[in-house]
Structure 1
Amino acid sequence: MFSDLDEQLAATLKHRAGGDVDPTPIVEQARHRGRRLRLRRRGLITGGVAAACVALTSVALAIPGVRSTEDPIMPAAALMLPEAQSDGTVRPEEVGADPATVHFSTDALVSGADFASWRTGRGIESVEFRGPSGQARFVLARTEVLLDGLQQTLSSQGRPQGRTEVRVGDRSGVAWFDPSGERKLWFVRWQPTDGIWAQVDMYATSRDEAAGTASRVRFDGAHRCAVPFRLESLPTGGRLLECSVTLGRSGRDAFVEGALVVGDASGRWLTVRAQPAPAGDDARPGNLVAGPYRARRQGSDVLEMTVEPCVVEAFRKGWGNGYTEAEGLAILGGYQPARDLDRPDTW
């Protein structure tokens, strides 16, 4: 999910610049700098759980990404999740059911991306690629209703045009667009197989270009949604509901951030997020006990602790609902970090 800051920036840019400016690179840089300041000054939380959804292709960004000439450029494979066992098919009941598995591949579409944000759980699987060469989103869902409920993450003028028929490979689908400068924001929706719905959001010059990109998504394999930590102390009745992870290849670390959502049958849920701690950051010791760790409050609804090499947060409201502080501390107490942040295959 995206924060209020994302929505405000997107609304402002669409209103003042005709909708052809994508605010994602601005928000990404602002979040990164803001997080460093917050960790040093211990201010209020402003970040967000990486969210959601997406796919990629070669689409021109209105605002190019900024890349330091001193940063190493990792191969596009650094954005890929580790492979999971699969029989080569995806069934409707499996989509978004296991928060550890993504049932599609977009390897052929990521050559120009700098970041990939993967998500799976609660009936939806998605990935978003973004970078100097473009931005797009792919979503796989159990029902069309879930696709209808998605928040639009790419900027446009907010005036979607009527739907037309389109072919995605050998399957029929629909496409529509929203004006966004020379390249329109196209949406392509189809059923890769009966009982499963898919959608690509991307900037393209034509319907055929967007449909061609959609046809490059594959459904004959699976991948693990891997984050560099485990939660080994869940409340009674609690289970993992969702996994999300952002990987990058234009900086010194492949891992950008990862999150797990814990919840139960009563509708309670809590998000635990980990991010690499800024170099040279000296975190003050916490006064709360979370298993073997010391945690601290950030505002009234966020718990935070440092477990090298990451800063770890538990969101009880906003990105959580219903869990008490004591339960949040118990969940954090079961946090077990991976040994190597740059090797997703070992997570």
Structure 2
Amino acid sequence: MTGLDRVVTEALARVADDDVHVERLLAAARAGGIRHRRRRRVAIVAGTAFSVAVAGTAIALTAALLPTTADGMPAAPPATIAAPSPAPSAKSTTAAAPPKMTAPPLLPPADGPPSALSDPAQVGRPWLVHLGMDALPFPASVVQYHTSADGEWVMIQGGSMLTVRLSRGTTDFEPLTGAQRSVVVNGRSGTFAHDSRSGDGTLRWRLANGLWLQVYGQLDEAAALAVANSVRVDRTYRCAVPFRLPSVPAGTKADSCGMTFFGGPSRSTATTIAIGASYVKFTTERGDGPATAAANETLGGRPARVLEHPGDGGRPILEIQIGMGGGTTLSMVAEGSYKGSAVRELAATLQWLGGDDPAAWPDNPLPNP
């Protein structure tokens, strides 16, 4: 069982009393990761958050209205989105369902860097988030932000699942599947596609500055336009993690960063660094996991569970889990042409900050800007 498999299993267990659409969720999660593995072998990033499905009765929701702006951002009248009612579940348990968020979680603001609206070249910097929303389209159990050189996305999980993407191109976007028609998103030409078989709707449009945006989920045209109304790219936030890496091999670069918010105070983070032709992904999760109970090494004075095993195509993967105290586990997964000694050194020298306030976490965990 890989680290991803454990995360998926634990996430599903959190909402074991709810109706979980496993096939659809895992397909979406792995599709998101596969897009980012076209050039790298580490990043199934979406698995942590969006293997969780929290079902509920149909709820009528209205997206927030934005003023019309000259840049082509949406300001059409809001529409109503109904979260689909799930099929009855025979499973019964006394576990409480996690609370739901009714407003977007707060990311720490970035002071200084321009927004994607004023400088499209800013999109693709892993420590910065430019894609935001003024309102959630439905109460959400999970909201995940992800940024990499390929672009940015926000995934929202509640009674339904929704993805909003921002990029300089459309290569990694979900395809426009089904019947298509031209639409107008606040004066900008766009395309809405609806697949009658799956119920999936895809709204894609281009801003005046050349950036592309897309809304994807089980939406009709009116609902997709309503979601587009709340999308913002005129603000800049930080993607932050609760640690620093004061010593890294020469040439180490940031590859991606993600922050996942669950209902209530719980959150997790994920960031991947590139070291030549190898990649190391760092994930922080609530829970102590097997790190302390099954430790087989000591790294940086901390008990660690270290396991090396074959991965995709038979190439080795190195997994390290460390209990950081305070009910948090740090997981590291190395793939590619990594050196085990170098990965262990990263774990041993890592400076753990912890805490629950992302605003107190560093702008960049790497020693280089």
Question: If the length of structure 2 is used for normalisation, what is the TM-score?
Answer: 0.67
Amino acid corresponding to residue 210 of structure 2 in structure 1: G
The aligned residue for residue 229 of structure 1 is: 243
Distance 1:333 1:210, change over 3 A: same
1:226 shift after superposition: 1.9
Distance in 1 between residues matched to 2:210 and 2:94, nearest whole Å: 45
1:136 aligned to which of 162, 170, 184: 162
1:91 aligned to which of 100, 119, 124: 119
1:192 shift after superposition: 2.2
Distance in 2 between residues matched to 1:24 and 1:82, nearest whole Å: 34
Query: Retained in 1: the 8 A contact 2:49–2:142?
Result: no
Query: Retained in 2: the 8 A contact 1:22–1:61?
Result: no
1:107 shift after superposition: 3.0
Distance 1:6 1:176, change over 3 A: farther
Q: Which structure dedicates a bigger proportion of its chain to helix?
A: 1
User: Which runs of structure 2 are paired with 1:195-274 in the superposition (5 Å)?
Assistant: 195-204=210-219, 206-250=220-264, 253-255=265-267, 257-264=268-275, 266-274=276-284
Q: Aligned pair 1:326/2:353, yes or no? A: no
Q: Which runs of 5 or more residues in structure 1 are unaligned?
A: 8-20, 28-46, 153-158
Distance in 2 between residues matched to 1:333 and 1:78, nearest whole Å: 35
Deviations 1:179-222 (A, max 9, x none): 256xx211011112332111110222x32331232232011111
Distance 1:91 1:161, change over 3 A: same
1:59 shift after superposition: 4.8
Q: Aligned pair 1:23/2:46, yes or no? A: no
1:280 shift after superposition: 11
Amino acid corresponding to residue 340 of structure 1 in structure 2: G
The aligned residue for residue 181 of structure 2 is: 164
Amino acid corresponding to residue 23 of structure 1 in structure 2: V
**Larger RCO (CA within 8 A; separation ≥ 6):** 1
Amino acid corresponding to residue 49 of structure 1 in structure 2: V
1:80 shift after superposition: 2.9
Q: State percent identity of aligned pairs.
A: 23
Deviations 1:121-143 (A, max 9, x none): 122111101113x2200111121
Distance 1:26 1:91, change over 3 A: closer
Aligned residues: 291
The aligned residue for residue 143 of structure 2 is: 116
Distance in 2 between residues matched to 1:268 and 1:70, nearest whole Å: 41
1:285 shift after superposition: 3.2
Distance in 2 between residues matched to 1:324 and 1:280, nearest whole Å: 24
Distance in 2 between residues matched to 1:78 and 1:333, nearest whole Å: 35
The aligned residue for residue 173 of structure 1 is: 190
Distance 1:169 1:292, change over 3 A: farther
Query: Retained in 1: the 8 A contact 2:243–2:354?
Result: no
Distance 1:92 1:26, change over 3 A: closer
Distance in 2 between residues matched to 1:67 and 1:239, nearest whole Å: 45
Query: Retained in 1: the 8 A contact 2:129–2:239?
Result: yes
Distance in 2 between residues matched to 1:207 and 1:299, nearest whole Å: 48
Query: Retained in 2: the 8 A contact 1:161–1:176?
Result: yes
Amino acid corresponding to residue 283 of structure 1 in structure 2: A
The aligned residue for residue 364 of structure 2 is: none
SS in 1 for 2:172: helix
Q: Aligned pair 1:335/2:350, yes or no? A: yes
Query: Retained in 2: the 8 A contact 1:52–1:126?
Result: no
1:282 shift after superposition: 5.0
SS in 2 for 1:79: coil
Query: Retained in 1: the 8 A contact 2:110–2:128?
Result: yes
Distance 1:163 1:91, change over 3 A: farther
1:109 shift after superposition: 2.0
The aligned residue for residue 206 of structure 2 is: 191
SS in 1 for 2:132: coil
